[in-house]
Amino acid sequence: MVSRQPSRILHVDGDTFFASCEMALDASLSGKPVWVGGGRRGDGIVIAANREAKRFGVYTGMACFEAKRLCPHGVLAKPQYDEYRRLSREMFQIMEQYTPTLVPMSIDEGFLDLTTMRSHVWRDTTAAGYVNGLRARIQEETGLPVSAGLGRSTWMAKLATSVAKPGFVEVPPDSEKDFLAERHVGELAGVGRRRERSLLILGARTFGDVARLPSTVLKQKFGIWGQQLWLFANGQWNEPLLLEVKDRTTISSSTTLPYDEPDYEAARIFALSESTRLIGQLRREGLQAREMSLAIRFTDFTESGATHRFDHPQFRNSTINTVLGSLFDEVMGGHAQPVRQIRICFNNLKPLDTQPTLWGTTDAERWGALDEATQKLEGQWGDGVVLSGAQYALRYKNAVHSNPKAKCPFVPSREMAQKLWGEKLERLGCHHHSN
C-alpha cells in the first residue's frame, strides 16, 4: 500500500499591495513613508500604507489628515486602480509558471499546490529555495515584494504567511501541532470575534488549548467547522487544493469610494460606469444574467439595496443600465448621507445562447449586434477601447484635471459638466448607446 503524500499548499500575498504598487510605479518613493488614499478635499481615509509609514503609526482606515499629522514628511498617493490590476495580472502570470494548480483569492494573493513539485521539479533545491526563487522573480519583474507560507492546508499556509511577513515560513509535515501550540486562535483566517469569544468561553485561547478539548465539544458548538478546527489544531487537517470546475453563478463588484460622495448624480454616474464594465465581463465570458442587485452603503454605515429579476436573461447595456437607473432611484430614496460604498451584482447567470445578426431590424437585434461588435473590439484591442457615456465622462474628467486613472475617479460638478460637454449632467451615461 502506497502512503498518500501530504498536501503542500503555498500561500503568496503581496506586502502592503497598493502602497507597493505606487513604489513600483515611482522609484523616487523608495525608502519613503507612503500611504494610498485621500479624497478631493484631503478628507479621505488611508486604504494602504507601507512599512515605513506604519512605523509612524499610520494604518488602514485612518483619516489621511491624521496620517499627515503623524508623519508630515510622508507621501500621500491617490489610487491608480488600473495600474494595480495590471501589476496583479503580471504577478499571477509569474505564479502560473510555478505550479499547474493556482487559485487566486484576491487582487494580491493566491494559493499554489506544490504537493508534487519536490518529486518532479525542485529535485536539486529545497522548498525554501523554490519559493524564494518565485518571490525574487516577482520582485524583479514587477517591483512588488511578496510574502509566502507553505503548509499542509490553505489554513496553515495563510497562517504561516502572516507569521512570515515580510519573508517566507514553511511548516514542515508532522510539525504542525508544535508550530500551532502557542499561537492565538484569533490569528487563523475565519475566526472572527464571535467565534474567538465562544472558544475563550470553552477555555481555548491558543491552538494548543483547542487540541486538548474533546472533538465532540467543538462539533456540538460549531458543527463541521469545529471538527475541522480540532483536526487543524492537532496537525491532522490535510487539505488538497482543488480547482473547482463549475458554472459561474455570480459576477459582482464592491467599491469603497476614495471619498464620501455627497453628490448623488455623481454616484449614479459611477454606478452606471461600473455596471457597464461588469456587462463587458459578462459578454467576454459568454454569460447573461437573470437577476441584478444594487446596494449602497452610506457614511453613517446604514445600507440600502434593491434587486430586479429580468423576464428573460440579459447581457445588453441598454436593458441592464435602464434597470440600474431605476434601482438607483429606489435605493437612494429618502437618504441624505454621502455615499461610501457601491455594490453591483449579477446573479443566476446562464450561458449566452443567442447570436445576434450583424444588421438587425428590431431594436433588440441592433443592440445585440452593437454588443457583439463591442466584445470583438475589446477582444482585439483590450478593455476600455469602447466606452459608454458614463465611462467616457469619468475618464475624460480625469484627463482634463490630470488626475491618475482610478476605478472611482473624481466626478465633475454640474457646472463643470456643462462647460466640458455642453449638455446637462443627467444625460451623461444615461442614453442607451456607446460612444
Q: Kindly write down the DSSP assignment for every residue of 32-47, as one continuous string.
A: S-EEEE--TTS--BEE
Q: Per mean pLDDT, which range of 9-13, 90-94, 185-189, 370-374 is the poorest?
A: 370-374
Amino acid 380: pLDDT? 54
At the topology level, CATH places domain 17-80 in MutS, DNA mismatch repair protein, domain I (3.40.1170)
Residues of the chain with CATH 3.40.1170.60: 17-80
Angle at 60 between CA 337 and CA 11, to 5 degrees: 125
Does domain 253-427 match CATH 2.60.120.10? no
Give the separation between CA 21 and CA 87, rounded to whole angstroms: 7
Among the listed residues 160, 188, 142, 221, the one whose alpha carbon sits nearest the alpha carbon of residue 11: 160
> pLDDT digits over 249-289, tens only?
788 887 777 667 888 888 888 888 888 888 888 877 788 89
**What is the rounded CA–CA span in Å between residue 279 and residue 284?**
9
| pLDDT tens digit sequence for 364-417 | 445 455 555 655 555 555 555 455 554 445 444 444 333 333 333 333 344 444
> What is the structure's pLDDT at 423?
43
Q: Is the dihedral of CA 34, 40, 43, 47 positive or negative?
A: negative
Q: Please state whether beta strands 146-151 and 168-170 pair in parallel, antiparallel, or not at all (unpaired).
A: parallel
| pLDDT for the residue numbered 253 | 82
pLDDT tier at 147 (50, 70, 90 boundaries)? very high
CATH of 9-14+84-233, one of 3.30.70.270, 3.40.50.970, 1.10.760.10, 3.40.47.10: 3.30.70.270
User: Is the per-residue pLDDT at 196 higher than 70?
Assistant: yes
- Residue whose grid cell is 503555498: 10
Residue 427 has a pLDDT of 41
pLDDT of residue 211: 92
Q: What is the pLDDT of residue 55?
A: 94
Of 114-128, 197-211, 257-271, 289-303, where does mean pLDDT reach its minimum?
A: 114-128
Model pLDDT for residues 34-65, shown as the tens digit of each residue:
999 876 555 678 889 999 999 999 998 888 88
Per-residue pLDDT at 434 = 36
Task: Using DSSP bridges, classify how beta strands 9-14 and 109-113 pair: parallel, antiparallel or unpaired.
Answer: antiparallel
In the chain, which residues fall in CATH 3.30.1490.100?
253-427
CA distances from 232 to 6, 152, 211 (A): 14, 10, 8
Q: Which residues are catalytic?
A: 109
Q: Does the pLDDT at position 141 exceed 80?
A: yes
